[in-house]
Each structure stands twice: as structure tokens, then as C-alpha cells.
Amino acid sequence: MTPEQRESTWRQMTPDQQIDTWKRLSPDQRQAVRQRLTPEQRDAIRQRMQAQREANGVAPGRRLSPEERRQLRDQIYESNRVRPPHAGKNNR
């Protein structure tokens, strides 16, 4: 397939098909696609994705620091240790 044929096929896909196709690409294939994009195309994609996230009510989150992740793991571990297994379920 030529790049023009691939682009035409991509444009005919539904958004769900595009997402599924993108997810099936290997990291190397994704990187090759990204390298062929112009800065303007990359910026347009970035803006479109940001608009979709905002429309879906997904706010950009912040990553936890290693210390925050450790504290969260400790809290989860502690809460699971304190709570007996199958608490609140009927024993049959």
C-alpha cells in the first residue's frame, strides 16, 4: 500500500476503527508514523485529542511521585490487611 492509499483508508475508518488499528500497531510502527508527520499535523492531532478529552470530562491528571505511590500502596495494603476476607458477604 502506498502512503496515499493508507491515508485514504484511514480517513474512511470510523474513530473506533482508527483507535483499534492504532492500538494494534507495534511501538516501532507508531514511531515510524509519528516521524512522517509534520509539526503542524502533530499539533493538530494534539489539539483534537485534548478537545476530545475535555468534551468527555477527562481532566489532565498529574502523575504521582514515587513517594506518593509508595504511600498509596501502603494505604491499600493496610486497608486490605485490616478488613477480613469476604467481609459482608453471606456465607453459603
Q: Where are the domains of the chain?
A: 14-55
pTM: 0.47
Instruction: Assign 10 a pLDDT band (cuts: 50, 70, 90).
Output: confident
- φ, ψ of residue 7 in degrees (nearest 5): -65, -40
- φ, ψ of residue 34 in degrees (nearest 5): -60, -35
Structure-model confidence comparison of residues 86 and 1, the more confident one = 1
C-alpha–C-alpha distance, residues 13 and 24, integer Å: 15
pLDDT at 78 over 70: yes
pLDDT at 69 over 90: yes
